[in-house]
């Protein structure tokens, strides 16, 4: 029996030729890889169904009966092989649409077969398409009633005898040759006991060859737990190491700037969630370690003022007598400008010197800002990517805030770190894209996460309406009414790279139609899309921001962060083509003032099942976290924005959308163990350390992504 780490060709029944296809087709090189090639489904052989008992369409059944009829029926493309199977209780149709001649010859009327497949119902009669057929003989009638594994395979493999049945055989051979010592337990006994998990060896055997549903469920639960637990253990270790390794500036003092703002300028009472997050930031500032914190908060939850107050805390503190500075970086010029205007207004005459820097700030203005940042005369700078350029130097940068982290890569964050030779500034990342808890734990497992889960009081929930394009006139009616009240309207079109040309045509056609229905001079319309020059875009945007135009026709370039409180209607064309999180972001552009706002989802009449579900979810809830959970469920974690390249979300078994509970347990347990035994030095944790070391290679990638 070859060891688990020997080449697959040494396994009995494989040999060089089959090994070659296994490598090419399934990436199976070692015996170990084969062991981790898990079934994707199981055939329930635990019982034979009686034909009369079959009740539900879609149910997988195993029946035993005599083949009573077998004939070719239908013409042309509808031609098919059709049969009837009969047991003591009734009869059932069997249908094959392909490979019929070969099958016709191999099946025999009058013989007894074991038949397996999913039942369909048609005209009140049950049938099975492409059933698995086995001639009944004493052998297979007496074989243990169990769950038979079905493995992912390919045509090339089947040609080499490695179809589902062939794979089953070599995996059985592999398992039979293994001793428990070949697959040492990775979890300490007390964890197995606490969570009632089967041993690793047993779980790996039972995931291939379970004898009951219960055994299968337990094996899967054990292996999922293991997968998630070790990931969390690793992430928490990285975080702990980084925290102890990276010294941070200490901001202990709450001083004049902060107090003056809080008592004289803050125009409203902070929400409970805002207060809580500020406290969390304060604790980080006082800890002596560098802060790396993500603040998640739905659109409109009031992240800006939290950012400002954190910056004021920085300004009130010093290093060797030199006060700290702060910067805030936004992904687009317009957003940065808005933050600048907004924060300047909030600060008023407080005496904070705040500046704006982007690629468009040129000449003397630019020189002056750069000089003031170097000398320390400027306290806060708001800007775009331009802030991380090497020629932007600070006297003493203490805090960097990044708005909307998805547009900022790891490298850019690293550049920010280097902006202060005395040490890395604290980093606060703010995002309005809610990430489900399960995903945040994994993606940002090494960041601290704060959540602003409460909206400021008095907001009227946005009224979301789904209409098909037949009701365009009604939608225009709502637009007219709102504009008559002095409000403004967005009309957004999808723009996707693959269909860009057509999308652009759509947008222009829509713009022209709107110009006819909302004619000048009564109405003014802005248009913004990604193909326009930055200057023109900016000009059109500013006209809308200033209220000179009532309607803004745009693609998703407006998605991130623009703030026009007077806008009360968001019309989304072809809404079925947008993803949930995008729809939610777009909706967040309205409902920023005190007035009732509307989000109108226009779609075609015919919708896919998933498309309809998305729109229903939007109509049903305004809660960004609920939407993110639904998004994860509908699309799977690989498609959630910002996670695409992240290999760490590829699991063998675990599914972040479904296994939230297992993940929480894994996370809590990992945290508990590391608190008790940070270096995993205790004898009962030796198996954990060993497993982490042996899988350490891939882990390097994870530590890099954050």
User: How many other CB atoms sit within 10 Å of the CB of residue 294?
Assistant: 20
Q: Using the minimum distance from each CB to ligand ADP, give the nearer residue, 13 or 461.
A: 461
Residues with Cβ within 8 Å of residue 73, at least 6 apart in sequence: 79, 80, 81, 82
CB of 273 to ligand ADP, least distance (A): 9
Residues with Cβ within 8 Å of residue 606, at least 6 apart in sequence: none
Q: Using the minimum distance from each CB to ligand ADP, give the nearer residue, 104 or 454.
A: 454
Q: Are 248 and 289 in contact (CB under 8 A)?
A: yes
CB of 587 to ligand ADP, least distance (A): 12
Which residue is it, tokens 């981790």? 36
**Binding residues for ligand ADP restricted to 389-448, rule: CB under 6 A:** 432
Q: Read off the tokens for 534.
A: 């930055």
Q: Using the minimum distance from each CB to ligand ADP, give the nearer residue, 191 or 432.
A: 432
**Binding residues for ligand ADP restricted to 528-567, rule: CB under 6 A:** 563
Q: Which long-range contacts (CB under 8 A, 24 or more apart) does 172-181 make?
A: 172/208, 172/209, 173/11, 173/12, 173/13, 174/11, 174/31, 174/34, 174/35, 175/35, 175/204, 175/205, 175/208, 175/209, 177/1, 177/2, 177/12, 178/1, 178/4
Q: Using the minimum distance from each CB to ligand ADP, give the nearer residue, 11 or 430.
A: 430
Distance CA 141, CA 182 (A): 34
Which of the ranges 234-242, 277-285, 297-305, 654-662 carries the binding residues for ligand ADP, by CB under 6 A?
A: 297-305
* Among positions 297, 425, 624, 637, the unique one binding ligand ADP when judged by CB under 6 A: 297
CB of 401 to ligand ADP, least distance (A): 12
CB of 478 to ligand ADP, least distance (A): 24
User: Helix (H) and strand (E) counts for the chain?
Assistant: 25, 23
CB of 266 to ligand ADP, least distance (A): 9
Q: Using the minimum distance from each CB to ligand ADP, give the nearer residue, 174 or 430.
A: 430
Q: Using the minimum distance from each CB to ligand ADP, give the nearer residue, 302 or 494.
A: 302
CB of 403 to ligand ADP, least distance (A): 8
Distance CA 648, CA 643 (A): 9
CB of 459 to ligand ADP, least distance (A): 8
* Among positions 36, 262, 268, 539, the unique one binding ligand ADP when judged by CB under 6 A: 268
Q: Which of 395, 356, 357 is nearest to 375 (CA)?
A: 395
User: How many other CB atoms sit within 10 Å of the CB of residue 264?
Assistant: 10
Which residue is it, tokens 């062991």? 35
Q: Which residue is nearest to ligand ADP (CB)?
A: 302
Beta bridge partners of 489: 551, 569
Q: Does residue 456 belong to the site contacting ligand ADP (CB under 6 A)?
A: yes
Please give the backbone phi and psi of residue 358, each rounded to the nearest 5 degrees, phi first: -150, 180
* Among positions 62, 127, 232, 274, the unique one binding ligand ADP when judged by CB under 6 A: 274
CB of 271 to ligand ADP, least distance (A): 5
Q: Does residue 271 belong to the site contacting ligand ADP (CB under 6 A)?
A: yes
Report the Cα–Cα distance between both ends of the chain, in Å, rounded.
Answer: 42
Q: Read off the tokens for 457.
A: 């009081």
Q: Read off the tokens for 453.
A: 């889960």
Which of the ranges 296-304, 528-536, 629-637, 679-687 carries the binding residues for ligand ADP, by CB under 6 A?
A: 296-304
CB of 698 to ligand ADP, least distance (A): 36
CB of 333 to ligand ADP, least distance (A): 17
Peptide bond into 384 cis (omega under 30): no
Total residue length of the chain = 706
Q: Does residue 311 belong to the site contacting ligand ADP (CB under 6 A)?
A: no
Beta bridge partners of 593: none
Distance CA 347, CA 186 (A): 56
Q: Are 398 and 420 in contact (CB under 8 A)?
A: yes
Q: Using the minimum distance from each CB to ligand ADP, give the nearer residue, 222 or 487.
A: 487
* Among positions 4, 103, 150, 270, the unique one binding ligand ADP when judged by CB under 6 A: 270
Q: Does residue 304 belong to the site contacting ligand ADP (CB under 6 A)?
A: yes
Peptide bond into 521 cis (omega under 30): yes
Q: Using the minimum distance from each CB to ligand ADP, give the nearer residue, 218 or 298.
A: 298
216 burial class (0-12, 13-18, 19+ CB within 10 angstroms)? buried
Q: Using the minimum distance from each CB to ligand ADP, give the nearer residue, 138 or 458.
A: 458
Which of the ranges 265-273, 360-368, 534-542, 578-586 carries the binding residues for ligand ADP, by CB under 6 A?
A: 265-273
CB of 267 to ligand ADP, least distance (A): 7
Which of the ranges 166-174, 302-310, 504-512, 526-534 carries the binding residues for ligand ADP, by CB under 6 A?
A: 302-310
Which of the ranges 20-28, 248-256, 264-272, 673-681 carries the binding residues for ligand ADP, by CB under 6 A?
A: 264-272
* Among positions 157, 203, 233, 305, the unique one binding ligand ADP when judged by CB under 6 A: 305
417 burial class (0-12, 13-18, 19+ CB within 10 angstroms)? middle
CB of 493 to ligand ADP, least distance (A): 23
Q: Read off the tokens for 252.
A: 């202990």
# chain residues binding ligand ADP, by CB under 6 A:
16
Q: Are 317 and 250 in contact (CB under 8 A)?
A: yes
Beta bridge partners of 85: 67, 92
Q: Using the minimum distance from each CB to ligand ADP, give the nearer residue, 302 or 445.
A: 302
Q: Using the minimum distance from each CB to ligand ADP, give the nearer residue, 19 or 347.
A: 347
Distance CA 72, CA 451 (A): 64
Q: Using the minimum distance from each CB to ligand ADP, give the nearer residue, 76 or 458.
A: 458
* Among positions 303, 385, 487, 614, the unique one binding ligand ADP when judged by CB under 6 A: 303
Q: Using the minimum distance from each CB to ligand ADP, give the nearer residue, 166 or 642.
A: 642
User: How many other CB atoms sit within 10 Å of the CB of residue 259?
Assistant: 12
> β-strand 551-554 against 91-96: which pairing, if any?
unpaired
Residues that bind ligand ADP (CB under 6 A): 268-271, 274, 297, 299-305, 432, 456, 563
């Amino acid at each position: 029996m070859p060891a688990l780490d020997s080449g697959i060709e040494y396994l009995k029944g494989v040999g060089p030729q089959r090994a070659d296809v296994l490598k090419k087709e399934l990436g199976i090189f070692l015996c170990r890889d084969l062991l981790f090639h898990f079934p994707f489904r199981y055939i329930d052989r635990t019982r034979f169904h009686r034909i009369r008992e079959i009740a539900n369409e879609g149910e997988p059944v195993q029946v035993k009966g005599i083949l009573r009829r077998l004939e070719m029926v239908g013409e042309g493309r509808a031609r098919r092989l059709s049969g009837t199977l009969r047991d003591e209780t009734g009869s059932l149709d069997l249908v094959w649409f392909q490979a019929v001649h070969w099958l016709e010859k191999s099946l025999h009327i009058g013989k007894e077969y074991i038949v397996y497949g999913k039942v369909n119902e048609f005209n009140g009669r049950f049938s099975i398409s492409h059933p698995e057929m086995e001639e009944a003989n004493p052998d297979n009638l007496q074989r243990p009633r169990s769950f038979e594994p079905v493995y992912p395979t390919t045509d090339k493999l089947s040609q080499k005898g490695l179809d589902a049945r062939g794979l089953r055989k070599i995996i059985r051979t592999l398992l039979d040759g293994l001793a428990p010592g070949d697959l040492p337990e990775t979890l300490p006994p007390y964890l197995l006991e606490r969570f009632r998990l089967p041993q690793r060896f047993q779980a790996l055997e039972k995931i291939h060859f379970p004898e009951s549903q219960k055994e299968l469920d337990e094996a899967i639960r054990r292996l999922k737990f293991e997968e998630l637990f070790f990931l969390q253990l690793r992430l928490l270790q990285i975080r702990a190491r980084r925290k102890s390794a990276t010294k941070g500036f200490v901001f202990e003092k709450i001083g004049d700037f902060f107090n003056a703002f809080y008592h004289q300028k803050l125009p409203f009472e902070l929400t409970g969630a805002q207060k809580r997050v500020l406290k969390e930031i304060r604790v980080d500032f006082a800890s002596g370690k560098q802060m790396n914190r993500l603040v998640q908060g739905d659109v409109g939850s009031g992240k800006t003022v939290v950012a400002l107050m954190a910056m004021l805390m920085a300004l009130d503190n010093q290093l060797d007598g030199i006060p700290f500075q702060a910067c805030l970086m936004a992904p687009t010029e317009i957003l940065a400008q808005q933050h600048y205007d907004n924060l300047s207004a909030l600060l008023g005459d407080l005496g904070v010197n705040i500046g704006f820097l982007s690629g468009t700030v040129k000449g003397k203005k630019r020189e002056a800002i750069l000089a003031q940042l170097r000398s320390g005369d400027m306290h806060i700078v708001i800007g775009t990517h331009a802030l991380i350029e090497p020629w932007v130097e600070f006297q003493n940068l203490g805090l960097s805030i990044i708005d909307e982290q998805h547009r900022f890569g790891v490298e850019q964050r690293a550049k920010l770190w280097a902006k202060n030779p005395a040490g890395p500034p604290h980093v606060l990342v703010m995002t309005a894209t809610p990430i489900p808890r399960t995903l945040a734990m994994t993606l940002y497992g090494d960041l601290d996460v704060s959540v602003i889960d409460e909206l400021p009081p008095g907001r009227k929930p946005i009224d979301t309406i789904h209409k098909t394009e037949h009701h365009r006139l009604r939608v225009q009616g709502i637009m007219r009414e709102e504009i008559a009240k002095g409000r403004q309207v967005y009309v957004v079109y999808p723009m996707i790279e693959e269909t860009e040309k057509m999308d652009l045509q759509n947008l222009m056609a829509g713009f022209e139609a709107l110009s006819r229905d909302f004619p000048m001079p009564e109405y003014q319309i802005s248009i913004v899309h990604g193909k326009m020059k930055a200057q023109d875009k900016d000009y059109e945007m500013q006209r809308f921001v200033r209220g000179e135009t009532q309607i803004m026709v745009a693609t998703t370039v407006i998605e991130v962060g623009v703030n026009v409180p007077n806008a009360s209607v968001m019309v989304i064309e072809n809404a079925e083509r947008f993803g949930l999180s995008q729809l939610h972001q777009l909706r967040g552009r309205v409902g920023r003032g005190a007035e009732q706002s509307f989000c109108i989802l226009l779609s075609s009449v015919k919708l896919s099942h998933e498309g309809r579900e998305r729109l229903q979810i939007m109509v049903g809830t305004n809660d960004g976290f609920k939407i993110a959970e639904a998004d994860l469920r509908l699309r799977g974690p690989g498609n959630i924005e910002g996670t695409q390249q992240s290999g760490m979300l590829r699991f063998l078994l675990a599914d972040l959308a479904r296994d939230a509970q297992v993940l929480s347990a894994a996370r809590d347990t990992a945290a508990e163990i590391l608190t008790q035994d940070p270096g995993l030095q205790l004898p009962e944790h030796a198996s954990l350390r060993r497993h982490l070391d042996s899988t350490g290679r891939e882990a390097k990638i994870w530590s890099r992504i954050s």
